[in-house]
A and B are shown apart, each in its own frame.
Chain A
Amino acid sequence: MGEIVLNIENAGKSRAALQVLDGVSLNAATGQRIALLGHNGAGKSTLMKAVLGLTPLSAGRISVAGSAPGSAAARAATAYLPEAVAFHKSLTGREQLTLFARLADCPVAQVAGYLDRVGLSEAADRRIGTYSKGMRQRLGLAQVLLGRPKLALLDEPTSGLDPISRHELYAIIDEMAELGTAVLIASHTLTEVEARTDRIAILRAGRLVADDTLENLTLRAGLPTRLRIRANGDAAGRIVDATGGTRVNGMSVDLLCAPERKMTELRRLSAMGDVVADIEMHPPRLEDLYRHYSTGENH
């Protein structure tokens, strides 16, 4: 594990009577990709703005590469992609990126390379007003790459992107992580970030309710696997009697079982012989897992 780039300790933020963030502690080390999940209004964007030093905390502390958020050193180490960023329409992509390169103290000569990396070299000298949503998002990603940041904060980077652009975006994120950038990706859907992250942190109403790998989260949630058993002929009733499952139609029976009971159930079913025609297995989906943590409801 690399050095800790982002250290959030007990971060709290209240706005009027509302507790937007409440005792949030989170670390990110070099090269880690962390998904920050939560519903709209769960506190993801506020947490990012606090890390950027754009909004002050009411409790706790944050350090970015050892410096206070918003300090020159912290800003130099951080890159940010806001949700649905709108650049100035009358500027070209190259002009906009050149401004950011100058501010980030990054050689202007590298701008063309970054535009090429995100696939915008042909559109570089067209005005941003003519760009599609995906192109604007890619320009936003190009400015994240500038100057090899230690920490990248991406707020809903995949919103409005088609599947191919999304795939390219994650390829770039992986590349950044390999070069040692800690990447924090905020999203409201787990399905978009699943396999692409090392850790998943889930915010619910300003509190951090999960911070672990996908495997551990799955284990801990203990969500049941659903077995759908198709019966031969009119044997469905017998299967219900034997297993205690629920009949879904004339032919099939649904059986929910805990992960560790799965093999036992399968053995029992295969011992029933011809009665069972087919078994489909449905492990808990990412959406079920996300709902489990983000709403606190159990199935």
Chain B
Amino acid sequence: MIRRILAVAMIEATITRRNRWLLMATVIMVLFAVALTLAGSAPTGTLGVNMLTVSVASMTTLSVYLAPLLALMMAFDSIAGEAERGGLGLLLSYPVSRAEILLGKFVAHLSALAFAMIVGFGVAGGLAAVQGGVDAASLVALVRLILTSILLGAAFLALGYMLSALAGSATGAAGLSAGLWMVFVVLYDLGLLGAVVFDAGGWFTQTLFPWALAANPADAFRLWNVAASDGVAMATGLSGAASALPDWVAPTSLLLWPVLALLLARYFFERLEP
């Protein structure tokens, strides 16, 4: 089983490298992270935290948008596209299960994503540390940012496979992915914000809101990074919602999402007739 997963993963890794996805994802991560770090260096003095902490806070906000986007762009074509080209039927005529194909693709795409995250955030973090000082806490925050970004990417890779298996065509999968990104990253927060404003500090805001926030992987990612670091919390201003929840909630949500999404992807992939 492991051998077949690795065989698929190796081929997918070659494809990711050849079609320059790896290069593009890495360049995008480096450019955005470095730009944000340099632009975000201004408030260092006023907040009384070092530059790496501020940089991590800015990059947390960046990763909420970018990690799901890169993951979905890598994943949307992987099942629908192959089914369209006729390669999926051939692949499935071999003694390899759909779960093995899915995991093989997941391993390859997640490795590419992890590489881009480590290089991008690493370069920007290094730059911030050189320019504005570094301490143990901010270094831990940087490592946490990288690891949680990879988890966030994992969740959206799996969601992308699910849509790819559901859509029936690569074009359809691209559309669904764009919609999913909008919902999770933009509309969900807007909806909650609207509800909080309407509720005006009532039961919803006090009790349900933090949990609803943590249920979304993108927000769970934000909460985890914020709650774990006072400096980052100060720099992002999200500390209110983070402190209303027990510590384990956001990490559990972010850890469960990739598993849950992979199971969903497998369920829909099994139902697909190539």
| Residues on A facing B (Cβ under 8 Å) | 49, 52, 54-55, 72, 75-76, 78-88, 90-91, 95-96, 99-100, 102-105, 127, 140, 143
With contacts A85-B87, A86-B86 taken as known, whether A102 is within 8 angstroms of B95 at the C-beta atoms is no
| Bound CA–CA A143/B19 (angstroms) | 24
A-B contact pairs, 9 of them (CB 8 A): A82-B89, A82-B90, A83-B86, A85-B87, A86-B86, A88-B15, A99-B11, A103-B7, A103-B94
| Residues in A whose Cβ lies below 8 Å from that of B93 | 52, 54, 75, 78-80
Chain B, residues 18-48, CB within 8 Å of chain A (1/0): the string is: 1100000000000000000000000000000
| Bound CA–CA A84/B86 (angstroms) | 8
With contacts A55-B273, A102-B4 taken as known, whether A72 is within 8 angstroms of B86 at the C-beta atoms is no
Q: In the complex the two chains form, is B90's CB within 8 Å of A85's CB? A: yes
Q: In the complex the two chains form, is B11's CB within 8 Å of A95's CB? A: yes
With contacts A82-B86, A85-B86, A86-B87 taken as known, whether A72 is within 8 angstroms of B95 at the C-beta atoms is yes
CB distance from B86 to the nearest CB of A (A): 5
Q: In the complex the two chains form, is A95's CB within 8 Å of B14's CB? A: yes
Q: In the complex the two chains form, is A54's CB within 8 Å of B95's CB? A: no
Q: In the complex the two chains form, is B18's CB within 8 Å of A90's CB? A: yes
CB distance from B92 to the nearest CB of A (A): 6
| Residues in B whose Cβ lies below 8 Å from that of A83 | 86
| Bound CA–CA A52/B96 (angstroms) | 13
- Apart from A75-B95, A91-B18, list 16 A-B contacts with CB within 8 A: A49-B273, A52-B89, A72-B95, A75-B93, A76-B95, A78-B93, A80-B90, A82-B90, A86-B85, A86-B86, A88-B87, A90-B18, A99-B11, A103-B7, A103-B94, A143-B90
Q: In the complex the two chains form, is B89's CB within 8 Å of A104's CB? A: no
Number of B interface residues in the complex (CB < 8 A): 23
Q: Give the nearest-CB partner of A87 in chain B.
A: B87
- Asked whether any CB of chain A lies closer than 8 Å to the CB of B124, the reply is no
CB distance from A90 to the nearest CB of B (A): 4
| Residues in B whose Cβ lies below 8 Å from that of A87 | 85, 87
Q: Give the nearest-CB partner of A81 in chain B.
A: B90
Q: Is the interface of A mostly helix, strand, loop or mixed?
A: mixed
Q: In the complex the two chains form, is B89's CB within 8 Å of A49's CB? A: yes
Q: In the complex the two chains form, is B87's CB within 8 Å of A104's CB? A: no
Q: In the complex the two chains form, is B96's CB within 8 Å of A103's CB? A: yes
| Among A72, A80, A88, A100: residue with most chain B CB under 10 A | A88
| Residues on B facing A (Cβ under 8 Å) | 3-4, 7-8, 10-11, 14-15, 18-19, 85-87, 89-96, 273-274
Q: Is the interface of B mostly helix, strand, loop or mixed?
A: helix
| Bound CA–CA A49/B18 (angstroms) | 32
Q: In the complex the two chains form, is A90's CB within 8 Å of B89's CB? A: no
| Bound CA–CA A103/B94 (angstroms) | 6
CB distance from A147 to the nearest CB of B (A): 10
| Residues in A whose Cβ lies below 8 Å from that of B89 | 49, 52, 54, 80, 82
Q: In the complex the two chains form, is B95's CB within 8 Å of A105's CB? A: yes
With contacts A75-B95, A103-B95 taken as known, whether A91 is within 8 angstroms of B87 at the C-beta atoms is no
Q: Give the nearest-CB partner of B90 in chain A.
A: A82
| Residues in A whose Cβ lies below 8 Å from that of B85 | 86-88
| Bound CA–CA A75/B91 (angstroms) | 10
| Among A54, A76, A91: residue with most chain B CB under 10 A | A54
| Residues in A whose Cβ lies below 8 Å from that of B87 | 85-88
| Bound CA–CA A80/B93 (angstroms) | 7
| Bound CA–CA A95/B17 (angstroms) | 14
With contacts A82-B90, A95-B14 taken as known, whether A103 is within 8 angstroms of B4 at the C-beta atoms is yes
Enumerate the 8 nearest inter-chain pairs by beta-carbon distance, A residue then B residue, closest first.
A102-B7, A90-B18, A80-B93, A86-B85, A103-B94, A75-B95, A99-B11, A76-B95
Q: Give the nearest-CB partner of B274 in chain A.
A: A54
Q: In the complex the two chains form, is A52's CB within 8 Å of B92's CB? A: yes
Q: In the complex the two chains form, is A104's CB within 8 Å of B15's CB? A: no
CB distance from A278 to the nearest CB of B (A): 52
| Bound CA–CA A190/B11 (angstroms) | 38
| Residues in B whose Cβ lies below 8 Å from that of A140 | 90
Q: In the complex the two chains form, is B94's CB within 8 Å of A100's CB? A: yes
| Bound CA–CA A151/B92 (angstroms) | 15
CB distance from A110 to the nearest CB of B (A): 15
CB distance from B130 to the nearest CB of A (A): 38
| Residues in A whose Cβ lies below 8 Å from that of B19 | 90
Q: In the complex the two chains form, is A99's CB within 8 Å of B90's CB? A: no
| Residues in B whose Cβ lies below 8 Å from that of A104 | 94-95
Q: In the complex the two chains form, is A54's CB within 8 Å of B92's CB? A: yes
Q: Give the nearest-CB partner of B273 in chain A.
A: A55
With contacts A49-B89, A82-B89, A102-B3 taken as known, whether A91 is within 8 angstroms of B94 at the C-beta atoms is no
| Bound CA–CA A104/B7 (angstroms) | 11
| Bound CA–CA A249/B260 (angstroms) | 79
| Residues in B whose Cβ lies below 8 Å from that of A90 | 14-15, 18-19
